[in-house]
Amino acid sequence: MASRARPLSLVAPALAALLLALVLAPLLAVGWRGAGISLGPAEWAAVRFSVLQAVFSAVLSTFLAIPVARALARRNFPGRGVLITLMGAPFLLPAVVAVLGLLAVFGRSGVLNAGLVALGLPPISIYGLHGVVIAHVFLNLPLATRMILQSWLSIPAERIRLAQSLGFGPRETFRHLEWPMLREVLPGVALVILVICLTSFAVVLTLGGGPSATTIELAIYQAVRFEFDLSRAAGLAGVQLAIGSIAALAAWLMTSPAGFGAGLGRDLELSAPGGWRKAGDIGALVGVALFLALPLGAVLLRGLPGLGEIPASVLPAAGRSVLVALTSTILATVAALTLALASARRTHLLAEAAATLPLATSGLVLGTGLFLLIQPFAPPMSLALPVTVLVNVALSLPYLYRILLPEARALHADYGRLADSLALRGWPRLRWLVLPRLARPLGFGTGIAAALSMGDLGVIALFAGEHQATLPLVVSQLTGAYRTEAAAAAALILVTLSFALFWAFDAGGRRAAA
């Protein structure tokens, strides 16, 4: 590297610092309003349960995703594209909608128990730690599958051809090609899921079955809402951030770059072994398709009858939500790409932290802290939508970053020097190298970010003004007013819009990469 400072090397740390400030300043603002930080045994029990269920959920989601991703990578079948796209859907469901969808299958009067009872078998209960884990796997397995599939498809054809010419069987292919690839991608995938599940609130509480299923986020909720004990809330949020940081550090230490080198981008199918491996792939695909499609179908069926009676306020709220989502997505994409490209050059611990900690932050503390910070300068209500955008950027950036990073690394390793030697910098580098080479992960990542930004309830409730309700808020208002059918219909609209945004970006990225 020439010694002259490159502008990008300054931007990324500045951006990372800004993001960290966005996460930490509200925490400090909340802590400062309280007298100090104190945690009792009940809080530590909540910490233990949160970590336990998050680790189970992350490990299970990640490992179950491996066979599914492999089957999708090496099999070609009608409906493959639909299944891959469908993988985006569960992740985007609002927690309450997802829970009701799952209950239609696994609940006391769900399809599964109806079947078991018909066969004369005892019914199963979904409530408890296992139910929480099932719900988290339902929500996150598809995300994990997509992230791993992305890596599978990025193994260069040359390496696969070499493996085939050396007569590698499935076992050797796994050892020399797939395992190094997994070593690179799995820690990041597990980290993201662990941190999401750490802060999960409604899912854990609803399916947890009782007060032993208490998470940190619930303890924070209680501290803020019922006791107005801000110092305890800040302390708990700090613990949550610390756990997130430790997990991020562990994932960072466990990640080892696969270093496959570049390929010429020729199309080459992975070999698709027959025998029991074929049966296994079919089993994995059918299993995951059913596991995802049944609850999603239930969401659809619940929503359809109410479509006729949705109130007029749903439309402007939907428009507002889409506007917020698109604005958030653009900003998050610019920020995530900047950080990922900088991290691809050399490891930035600051960028890693900035791209992980927002996930581990408590939505309630973030919202409360921002409220406290903004209130002296402006009526928080007047800033509701800009604050929503800001929070969405911070919360969706980690996904984008994780999705972009492996491919940004490969891009840098394979073409960084060639591009440098051709003085390919700035916009031309973005236009002619980065955007085309990263089109696939960019499409997927922006899709995820856009859909995530459609749902924003947790943080923004404090800021909501009279005429600024977003779609998730309307859904929650409807469910709070007995209007179950209309709420299910509005939720269906929310999910459909989220999914449409996701699909548009994702398919756009795949088309651009083809």
Partner 1 sequence: MLQLDRLTLTQGTFRLTADWSAVAGSRIAVMGPSGAGKSTLLSAIAGFLTPTTGRILWQGQDLARLTAGERPVTILFQDQNLFPHLTVAQNLGLGVRPDLRLSAADKSGVETALDRVGLAGLGQRRPAQLSGGQASRAALARALLRARPILLLDEPFAALGPALRTEMLELVRRVADETEALVLMVTHDPQDALALGGSLAFVAEGVVQAPTETQALFSDPPPDIQAYLGRK
Partner 2 sequence: MHGFLHPRPFRRNMEKMMKKHLLAAGLLTIATPALAETPILQVLTYDSFTSEWGPGPAVEKAFEATCACDLQFVPAGDGAALLARVQLEGAASDADVVLGLDTSLTAAATATGLFAPHGKTPALNLPVEFADPNFLPFDWGWFAFVHDKTKLPEPPKSFEALAASDLKIVIQDPRSSTPGLGLLLWVKAAYGDRAGEIWQGLADNIVTVTPGWSEAYGLFLEGEADMVLSYTTSPAYHLIAESDASKGAALFDQGHYMQIEVAGKLAASDQPELADQFLDFMLTDAFQSVIPQTNWMYPAVTPAAGLPEGFDAFRPAKSLLFTPEEALVARDAALAEWQAALAR
Residue 171 sits in the site that holds partner 1 (CB under 8 A): no
Interactions with partner 1, residue window 22-61 (CB under 8 A): none
- Given CA atoms 205, 206, 208, 211 in this order, what sign does their dihedral have? positive
Contact residues for 398 (Cβ-Cβ < 8 A; gap 6+): 192, 195, 355, 356, 358, 359
CA distance linking residue 129 with residue 140, whole number of Å: 16
Sign of CA dihedral 200, 251, 41, 236: negative
Closest listed residue to residue 492, CA positions, set 478, 480, 505, 507: 478
Which of 84-92, 248-256, 279-287, 423-431 is the region at the interface with partner 2 (rule: CB under 8 A)? 423-431
Which pair of structure tokens corresponds to residue 183? 């070593």
Rg for the chain, CA atoms, rounded: 23
Which of the residues 90 through 149 are near partner 2 (CB under 8 A)? Answer: 96, 99-100, 103-104, 107-109, 127
Interactions with partner 1, residue window 244-273 (CB under 8 A) = 262-266
For partner 1, the binding residue among 313, 415, 462, 496 (CB under 8 A) is: 415
Compute the least distance from the CB of residue 404 to partner 2, in Å.
15
Which of 139, 372, 405, 448 is close enough to bind partner 2 by CB under 8 A? 372
Answer for which of 109, 418, 465, 511 binds partner 1 (CB under 8 A) is: 418
CB 450 within 8 A of CB 400: no
Comparing C-alpha atoms, which of 12, 61, 92, 60 is closest to residue 444? 92
Give the residue with the Cβ less far from partner 2, 57 or 151: 57
Residue whose structure tokens are 């997927």: 444
By beta-carbon proximity to partner 1, the closer residue of 238 and 441 is: 441
Query: Does the protein bind partner 2 through residue 316 (CB under 8 A)?
Result: no
179 binds, among partner 1, partner 2, none (CB under 5 to 8 A by kind): none
Is residue 8 part of the contact set for partner 2 (CB under 8 A)? yes
CB–CB of 268/62 below 8 Å? no
Q: Cβ–Cβ contacts within 10 Å for residue 79, how many?
A: 10
Q: Of partner 1, partner 2, none, which one does residue 109 interact with (CB within 5 to 8 Å by kind)?
A: partner 2
Instruction: Determine, following the binding rule CB under 8 A, whether residue 424 of this chain makes contact with partner 1.
Output: yes
Which of 82, 279, 290, 481 binds partner 2 (CB under 8 A)? It is 481
For residue 4, state whether it binds partner 1 (rule: CB under 8 A).
yes
If we measure between CA atoms, which residue out of 405, 268, 279 comes closest to residue 348? Answer: 405
For partner 2, the binding residues in 15-44 under the rule CB under 8 A are 15, 42
Structure tokens at 21: 């400030």
Binding string, residues 322-341; x marks residues near partner 2 by CB under 8 A: -xx--x--xx--x---x---
- Mark the segment that binds partner 1 (CB under 8 A) among 371-379, 433-441, 461-469, 501-509: 433-441
